[in-house]
Amino acid sequence: MKGSDLVGRMCTAPMVHREVPVLPAAFCDPDVGTGMVTSVPSDAPDDWMSLNRLKKDPSYMERYGVTKEMLDSVVPVSIISMKGYGEFPAQDIVERMGIKDADDPRLEEAKKQVYKDGYHLGFMKDVCGEFAGMRVEEAKDRMKQAMIDSGEADVFYDLSEEVVCRCGCKVVIKRIDDQWFIDYGNEDLTQKTSDHCRTMTINPVEYYNNVHAVLKWFRERACVRLGNWLGTRFPFDERWIIEAISDSTLYPVYYLISMYANDGRISPEQMTEAFFDYAILGKGDAETVSEECGVDASLLKEIREDVLYWYPLDMNLGGKEHMTVHFPAFLKNHVAILPPEMWPKGIMVNWYITGKKSKISKSKGGAQPIPGAAKKFGVDGMRLYYAHVASPFADVEWDEDTLMSYSQRIDRIASFIAELPSYNGPATEIDAWLVSRMNTHVGAIRSAMERYDLRQMATVAYFEIFNDFKWYQRRGGGDPGTISDGLRTWITAMMPVTPHTAEEMWEAAGFDGLVSEAEFPEAGERSVPAEYGEDLIREVMSDAQQIIKVTGIEPKRMVLYTAPSWKIRVLGKALELQDRGELSIPALTKACMSDPDIRGHGKAASDMARKTAEDMMRLPAGSMRPMFESDERAHLAAAAAFLSKEMGLEARVYSADEEGKYDPNDKAKMAVPGRPAIYLE
């Protein structure tokens, strides 16, 4: 019925059994509950302002047929006492906030504030009968139960927000008598599941931390429904159909056993409780169970072996909407039914790929049809885009330009790899560097895959290795053996993400068989000095180019000076102290001053000790060791011809200790380990 048909009438308020008038208010939402609310103008800012509007504006009274006598009979009743408020908290909050109109949007803020203060700080006044003196938070629950017990109220179930069916209609909750639920609120089950989650690999870390609260919040869930649905009759009451929640139950086991039913090797009638107890839980023996259910003992053993092979589940992957829907049920079902050795080991939550700032989905639209996208961008281009751009822990907007750039990168890599087998140069020092770098990359890829970090894995495989091969080529590398070994590793690393292109690259590189059949290698030994030496060369080039850019000079000669031996000795002493866990500025200074070769450099020595200790304590332990173990002069001297060619000038390399070195501006004294001094003229 229309709310306007009730306005102006009198009704009896439940529990207090007093007649009260029905008045109009714009804030009442006909889609919430019955569309009517019990007015409490003393404590509800909305109610206070709506009542004042009626009293001050005769047009409202005329429009709704409310008499002056009816309005005069409405006198607010003060029921809550709370610190910081007077007799009528609603009046206090609206006056404090300067609210003058019933349509002021700040009323929502006022309501939240006064309700919050009342709930946590308020006490019921003497006028409240048996509830007098109670804290509001206690009285609220006590009053609710008293109303239900008296038969003057009932529980109304509602959704926390509006939900729209795919047909476009609003979804409402219908309470059904004799509904069957799974008791996910069981405290013992919840605690066991929470304890197990602490042993699992759960990504992202935010969900690992929050899943325990989700499990406590997760309550009873309906497991059956009435109506003409597809599905299985509920064995305890065949009026009901089992709810289609297979994705939240033991579905990995379902898939293991359903294949035998689908191909006809077992029938539904044979899948007795004894069958499931043996196949899933390992109870009994195959021969005895075979006699009971009629399934051949050898087939029972095969099914049991399948279960043991595939369980426990290593990783369950799902979208972030399942953090409070699917995953809690998945976890609790496994813990409730299976033995601990079969409980899941991991969960991976994926965020969304969005279109125009909203989720792409079948129900909300915006989905990109796979056939059309595959034709436009290429299957491998899309796979690399998903792996590298679509972070599992943040929503990413679909971007066709970015996707196209990934397709183009695959093409560049393929073209580059096609050229490499034609190289036929001698082995040089740069080959040791590339071998070491590939071993570094193998370790990084294996580590990333163990963490399910596809983004990092793709960064190494499609960007870092490509850059290293380009540097190897730039440095004059061309040994066929090194190139072949490097390509074998590189193409194998790309196979999981871009398998189709990887197979073509594999064949172009001259390898036999399929890359999809090849094993990814284990990480071999690294040559830290070789890797450090090439990094040093690149840093020197970058620093020199920056100097040229800033100064605007056009040099014809570059002179490099590496650190003197006494500064290297300071670094060595610092590393010794760091290894013993004793590194500090005073400790290193003392150690240096006890060495005559260092002490003789006076204030420069103490400054060097202080700066070295500060740097080492700020950086990860061991990160400065390569500076001590590497021969920087030898690395740079061997690359002098390369530096001259790359920078278009003469390059000379000296140690700061060398007699007769060319050093017209006394630059050598500036050299320290890891930062050669640079003189340009």
Written as one string, the DSSP assignment of 109-154 is HHHHHHHHHHHHH-EE-GGGGGGTT-BHHHHHHHHHHHHHHHTS--
Angle at 379 between CA 378 and CA 383, to 5 degrees: 120
Calpha distance 235→420 (Å, rounded): 67
- Using CA atoms, how far apart are residues 298 and 677, in angstroms rounded to an integer? 77
- In sign, the C-alpha dihedral spanning 273, 278, 280, 283 is positive
> What's the fold here for domain 359-526?
Isoleucyl-tRNA Synthetase; Domain 1 (1.10.730)
Residues 187-350: name the CATH superfamily: HUPs (3.40.50.620)
- Per-residue model confidence (pLDDT) at position 32: 77
Residues of the chain predicted below pLDDT 70: 245-248, 355-369, 390-392
Nearest 5°: the CA angle 390, 217, 170 is: 70
* Residues facing 221 on adjacent strands: 182
In this structure, are residues 673 and 574 in contact, taking their beta carbons and an 8 Å threshold?
Answer: no
- At residue 539, the pLDDT reads 95
Q: Quick one: the chain helix, strand, coil %, rounded to 5?
A: 55, 10, 35
Strand order in the sheet with 677-680: 650-655, 557-562, 677-680
Give the end-to-end CA distance of the chain in Å, rounded to a whole number: 94
Q: For residue range 281-327, what is the model confidence (pLDDT) as tens digits? A: 999 999 999 999 999 999 999 999 999 999 999 999 888 888 998 89
Question: Which pLDDT value is given to residue 183?
Answer: 92
The candidate with the shortest Cα–Cα distance to 652, out of 592, 643, 407, is 643
Q: What is the CATH number of domain 535-680?
A: 3.30.2320.20
pLDDT at 356 (0 to 100) = 57
Residue among 348, 353, 301 nearest 326 (CA): 348
Domain chopping of the chain, boundaries: 3-150, 187-350, 359-526, 535-680
Q: What's the pTM?
A: 0.67
C-alpha 47/C-alpha 88 separation (Å) is: 12
Name the H helices within 338-428: 370-377, 379-388, 400-419
Q: Are 492 and 518 in contact (CB under 8 A)?
A: yes
Taking CA 528 as the corner, what is the angle to CA 523 and CA 533, rounded to the nearest 5 degrees? Answer: 130
Is the CA virtual torsion 262, 266, 272, 275 positive or negative? negative
Q: C-alpha dihedral over 581, 586, 587, 588, to 10 degrees?
A: 100
Q: How far is residue 494's CA from residue 628's CA, in Å, rounded to a whole number?
A: 36
pLDDT value at position 391?
A: 67
- Domain 3-150, CATH class in plain words: alpha beta
Which structure tokens are listed for 306? Answer: 């399948």
